Amino acid sequence: MNEPSDVKQQFDSFFADRSATSKGRVFVLDLSPVKDVLGDRWEKLKQQVYLTTSDVVLHRIQPTDIHCRWDDERYLVAFGALDQARGRIKISLIAQEITQRLLGSTDQDKAIKISMATTDENGEFSWDKDAAPSKLAVEKTLPKAPIKNEQTKEKPDAVGRDGIDFVFRPLWFVKNKIISSYFCIPVRDKGDGHFLSGYDILNDPQDPHAITALDLLTMKRIHKEALALEDTKMPALLAVPIHFESIASGGRRSTLIDQCKKNLGPHRNKIVIELTNLPEGIPQSRLQDFIQILKPFSRSVMARFSSGHRDFAGFKHVGLHAVGIDLYGDRREESKIIQSLEGFVENASKLGLHTYAHGVRSISLTTAAICAGIDYVDGYAISDVHEGARDIKHYSIRMPYASKYSADEPSHE
């Protein structure tokens, strides 16, 4: 372990070599919740805790970033090339993965805590170890401004400035145990180490104009990631959500198609389109029209429904690759979620449709999804697809959910 003075020297150097805009990009990961759970076992298992923490951080940071263990329970992570908004999103993802890998928990009271380190006007690095994480993490409340009009020409930093960013969730193919696709999901930082996702980031998630503007913004992020994948020669597929409201109206549809031509068309063989928020009882003919409109810009089209959807008659022959559900925000008891999942998969499978699930957040739900016959489940959110691509060969479906240290007997891994 580095002594605190060594750590301080590294971070002092980090700020000295960069402009004042580097301030606000150093974060503290507090492992005390893990120590609390382990109790008397902490001393025996803490080296394994450190190894797991370092493994997660190293897989997610870039060469321009640095990290160090500060003391017995805390790590410092500095992002050299991210603005503060993206840094907050990334450190939140890191904390979530560490929590899941160490404790297998989604309980926020047991989650790894995040706080923000600061520098003074001279660039001198310091942080208050006794400050509450909520006070450190929230320098100011991020704006909840509505998404800009689709005609607005955003500058490259508009996403960060507006507090909107994107993450990617790898889609695990249960049968072949591989990852080839990554869902692109818009997120907005809440300032407390957590964030909203999908259309919930909008001031009014029902506003069709804001919905379409967000879809257009997501396409721009997909275009950027597709270009990066081409540069690195990685074969991953990118899944982009398109809301029903964005394609249902003739006027909004025209704007959407223009953006598809610019951002999706050049990467057609790498793009999967996911139609979302389809109304119950949508006619087969209308859904088929949507698919035909979108097909020229993608490798395949999927459709997301509510977990209670059961009528898939005719959907097999309209050109859908798969039908899916999103469990991320479902706060029902797991037994009820599992019942819905089983009913959804059973009815879709009868018609030969592939199935997928977003937000399967525990090993019990994952097991239930697999037993129900689900074909694809998603995993950890990552900020860039190339980060996840390094993990493809050793990605385990248990990894995001299993607890290494919660059993009565210590782990021997």
This model's pTM is above 0.75 = no
347-360 tens-digit pLDDT: 998 888 999 998 77
Instruction: Give the model's pLDDT for residue 17.
Output: 59
Q: What is the rounded distance in angstroms from the CA atom of residue 319 to the CA atom of residue 22? A: 48
Instruction: State what percent of residues in the chain have pLDDT above 70.
Output: 74
The answer to whether residue 60 scores a pLDDT higher than 60 is: yes
pLDDT greater than 70 at residue 395: no
The pLDDT of residue 269 is 93
- DSSP assignment of 125-189 equals EE--TTS-HHHHH-SSPPP-PPPPPTTS---TTHHHHTTEEEEEEEEEETTTTEEEEEEEEEEEE
The mean-pLDDT minimum among 22-26, 97-101, 239-243 falls in 22-26
Cβ neighbours for 298, distance < 8 A, ≥ 6 positions apart: 264, 268, 271, 272, 273
Distance (Å, rounded) from C-alpha 198 to C-alpha 203? 12
Mean pLDDT of 1-12: 59
d(Cα 254, Cα 355) in Å, to the nearest integer? 30
- Of residues 329 and 179, more confidence is placed in 179
CA distances 123 to 16, 24, 130, 178, Å, are: 7, 11, 21, 45
For residue range 384-394, list pLDDT tens digits in order. Answer: 886 655 544 44
**pLDDT over 90, % of the chain:** 23
Domain ranges (residues) in the chain: 4-137, 158-382
Question: Average pLDDT in the 216-238 region?
Answer: 90
CA–CA dist 284, 314 (Å, integer)? 6
**Higher pLDDT residue, 333 or 44?**
44
CA distance 168 to 224: 13
More confident: 210 or 80: 210
Rounded mean pLDDT of 394-410?
Answer: 43
Lowest mean pLDDT among 98-112, 132-146, 286-300: 132-146
> For 321-327, what is the mean pLDDT?
90
For residue 286, is pLDDT > 60? yes
328 versus 309: the higher-pLDDT residue is 309
Tell me which of 257 and 118 has the higher pLDDT: 257
Residue 270 near residue 226 (C-beta atoms within 8 A):
yes
Domain 4-137: give its CATH code. Answer: 3.30.70.270
* 242 confidence band (pLDDT: 50, 70, 90): very high
CATH assignment, 158-382: 3.20.20.450
pLDDT tens string 148-157: 333 333 333 3
Chain mean pLDDT for the chain: 77
Is pLDDT larger for residue 233 or for residue 268? 268
pLDDT value for 411: 35
pLDDT for residue 10 is more than 80: no
Residue pair 351/176 in contact by the 8 Å Cβ criterion: no
Binning pLDDT at 50, 70 and 90, where does residue 106 land? low
pLDDT given at position 21: 41
Confidence of residue 58 (pLDDT cuts 50, 70, 90): confident
- Higher-pLDDT residue of 144 and 247 is 247
